Amino acid sequence: MFRNLIPLLADRYRVIAPDYPGFGQSDAPDHTRFDYSFAHLADIVDQLTDRLGAKRYSMYVMDYGAPVGYRLAIKHPERVETLIVQNGNAYVEGLGAFWDPIKAYWAEDTPARREALAGLVTLETTKFQYTDGMGDVARISPDNWVIDQALLDRPGNKDIQLDLFHDYGSNVPLYPQFQAFFRERKPPTLIVWGKNDKIFPEAGAHPYLRDLPEAEMHILDTGHFALEDRLSEMAPLIRSFLDRNLCR
């Protein structure tokens, strides 16, 4: 999703966009030998930023990247210069009906409830994530879901994703700590949110203003992967926000 945004920022900013283990071009060790948890993902990204010498950074958090990023933030609050939030949740209001079967899996980790989520890693759902609620579906390249699904269909990857669905529940008890970070550190924040997203709906965007009343919010007519059809609107907002808050 970030492939077209990165070059629009990279002339002035150092842009770091890692794939998590099990995603993209990163290694995908077997889930029986590797801990696919949000705590572990946050530790890995933390180690990466250390190796790259990124002692201070702005964070673009979206979907799974929100709890990973916020775990980093409560570990190193002094390092976070600004936040860009796009369909990334930190409030219970943002866990709508889509999450009901996943919550059932959190409550009772049984083979049946685990397997009930297997449909979430099929081509139908992958395409849905890219097309549902988009303001202009004609802008969405089919390469997106074809490439994503090829990676999801790698041997063992379904179990990786199901492990992470279960562990997402470990983030919810941390929401008060995330919110305390917002209130106490008050990082300059830009919220750009696809209002038609059924996974992380608009209801999860507005609570941020309780803790970050100075945040700049833009609710856009798009869906989950908002940059796919709203790059032309979002990139200037992001560039302006960073320039105003970092280039002083």
Residues of the chain with pLDDT > 90, as a percent, come to 97
Give residue-wise pLDDT tens across range 159-196.
999 999 999 999 999 999 999 999 999 999 999 999 99
> What are the phi and psi torsion angles at 25 (to 5°)?
-95, 5
Closest to 246 measured CA to CA, from 197, 206, 190? 190
Tally of CB atoms within 10 A around 50: 11
- The residues, any chain, with a CB within 8 Å of residue 248's CB and separated by 6 or more, are none
Instruction: State residue 246's pLDDT score.
Output: 92
Average pLDDT for 107-129: 96
Per-chain mean pLDDT for the chain: 96
Domain boundaries, the chain: 6-97+171-246
Instruction: State residue 135's pLDDT score.
Output: 86
Average pLDDT for 212-235: 97
Q: What is the rounded distance in angstroms from the CA atom of residue 12 to the CA atom of residue 217?
A: 23
Q: What is the rounded distance in angstroms from the CA atom of residue 31 to the CA atom of residue 98?
A: 25
Give residue-wise pLDDT tens across range 30-45.
999 999 999 999 999 9
Average pLDDT for 77-93: 98
CA torsion through residues 27, 52, 174, 246, sign: negative
Q: Are 11 and 242 in contact (CB under 8 A)?
A: no
Instruction: State residue 108's pLDDT score.
Output: 95
Q: What is the rounded distance in angstroms from the CA atom of residue 31 to the CA atom of residue 18?
A: 20
Q: Which position has the higher pLDDT, 1 or 130?
A: 130
Q: Would you identify the CATH topology of the domain 6-97+171-246?
A: Rossmann fold (3.40.50)
Q: How confident is residue 248, by pLDDT bands cut at 50, 70 and 90?
A: low
Active site residue 224: yes
Residues of the chain with pLDDT > 70, as a percent, come to 100
- The two structure tokens encoding residue 220: 């856009």
